[in-house]
Amino acid sequence: MGIGKNWNCGKDWHSAGHWHKILAVKVATLISAFFLVAFAISAMAQENQPTTREVGQWSFSNYPAAAHFSGKPAQPLLVTPRERNFRTAIQTQASSGPNFAGHFTLAHWGCGSPCLSFVIIDAASGAIYDFKESVGCADKNGMDASIDFKLDSRLVIATGFSEKLGCGASFYEWNGKQLTLIHFEPWPNRSQ
């Protein structure tokens, strides 16, 4: 009596395709479970987190951009190791032209979940203003990482985490060289 006969109880499961069918069902079940969990997490995060939005006096229209740019954007001047590490994201977004404060490009990229990093590039000179900060938050209220900005405004609304203030929306004013925090809107306490 061969080992093969005892091992599969005298049935030839492999040639009948049963193992393949069982494996396919298990894989399909795992994939379905993964997407169900991902959908549930996404729905919970969207339900629990505030959206980044203008609040009262901290609206885009209250911080108009002074100058607009026309012409071909300058090549970004990649100076620091961080800027060189993310050169593809920076150069690609800068080549599309200004999207922030008249003649700047706010280039951003993912740095995890939830996390965004960003720099601001002067389309005229190619100078890069890197704040070495990331935006993102995950707490009992949900998860978020977003940056809102407009071509015709100097306001940046970054939803995420502030080490001093916690999770919420930070409102920054751009002065052409740096961002200054002008308001913080904390996430509402939803633990009740």
Assigned domain for 89 exists: yes
What pTM value is reported for the model? 0.68
Confirm if 151 and 99 have CB atoms less than 8 A apart. Answer: yes
**Domain shared by 148 and 83, yes or no:** yes
Assigned domain for 101 exists: yes
**Domain shared by 121 and 95, yes or no:** yes
pLDDT, one tens digit per residue, over 161-181 is: 766 777 888 999 999 999 999
For residue 90, give the nearest of 65, 72, 73, 68 by alpha carbon.
73
**Domain shared by 33 and 76, yes or no:** no
**Domain shared by 81 and 100, yes or no:** yes
**Domain shared by 31 and 67, yes or no:** no
Assigned domain for 12 exists: yes
**Domain shared by 83 and 117, yes or no:** yes
Assigned domain for 192 exists: no
Report the pLDDT value the prediction gives residue 140, as an integer from 0 to 100. Answer: 64
Mean pLDDT of the chain: 77
**Domain shared by 86 and 180, yes or no:** yes
Among residues of the chain, what percentage have pLDDT more than 90? Answer: 44
Assigned domain for 191 exists: no
Assigned domain for 159 exists: yes
23: Cα separation from own chain's centroid: 36
Please indicate whether residue 51 or residue 124 has the higher confidence score (pLDDT).
124
**Domain shared by 101 and 157, yes or no:** yes
Query: How far apart are alpha carbons 132 and 170 in whole angstroms?
Result: 16
pLDDT, one tens digit per residue, over 112-139 is: 878 889 999 999 999 999 988 788 877 6
Tokens found for residue 82 = 């961080």
Q: Is the preceding omega at residue 114 within 30 degrees of 0, hence cis?
A: yes
Assigned domain for 63 exists: yes
pLDDT, one tens digit per residue, over 58-94 is: 899 999 998 789 999 999 999 999 999 999 999 999 9
Report the pLDDT value the prediction gives residue 137, as an integer from 0 to 100. Answer: 78
42: Cα separation from own chain's centroid: 14
Confirm if 162 and 169 have CB atoms less than 8 A apart. Answer: no
- The structural domain count of the chain equals 2
**Domain shared by 14 and 106, yes or no:** no
**Domain shared by 69 and 114, yes or no:** yes
Assigned domain for 141 exists: yes
**Domain shared by 40 and 69, yes or no:** no
Query: How far apart are alpha carbons 59 and 52 in whole angstroms?
Result: 11
Query: How far apart are alpha carbons 25 and 37 in whole angstroms?
Result: 18
Residue 134 lies in domain: 50-186
**Domain shared by 34 and 99, yes or no:** no
The yes-or-no verdict on residue 186 having pLDDT over 70 is yes
